[in-house]
Amino acid sequence: MPARSITRLFADLFDWAIVYAVALIFSIRSILAFIEAITHPTSVNITTAFIDAIVTGSFIIIIFIVYFLVLPVNWNGQTIGKKFFKIHVVRKDGKPVDFQTMFVREVFGRLLVGILSLGASIIAESFVMLVSDRHQTFHDTLASTQVVDVE
């Protein structure tokens, strides 16, 4: 049975809150280095801020990959938010998702489209999810997945 739209929405908000909180924790050192480089612009401070930004950005990318790609593949199509709200992602044929499916779904279907549309796709997808009978989004259609209630 397809998961209710409101359940999907709250699960997504839950997931993004977790990811942003972890990303913020990893970003604190980089933010402080940036402030130091702005207030005291020495070559050492600017270099430190630059290196910290690269390292922090790399860690945040790894966090996103692990949370939205690796975790669902190894945790029955669920993230922490989906587990909390008792829903999970499956392929259209009912089989569990694999890394390739989640990569297409999250990277091409969500991230790339979100960047190219300057975030407008998030609003459009939410609307489509709310009014469609299967509660599907573009990234579900693209990756041939569906979000269903855990039985």
pTM over 0.75: yes
pLDDT value for 129: 83
The tens digit of pLDDT for each residue in 40-97 reads 999 999 999 999 999 999 999 999 999 999 999 999 999 999 999 999 999 999 999 9
Map the chain to HEC letters.
Answer: CECCHHHHHHHHHHHHHHHHHHHHHHHHHHHHHHHHHHHCCCHHHHHHHHHHHHHHHHHHHHHHHHHHHHHHHHCCCCCHHHHHCCEEEEECCCCECCHHHHHHHHHHHHHHHHHHCCCHHHHHHHHHHHHCCCCCCHHHHHHCEEEEECC
pLDDT value for 18: 97
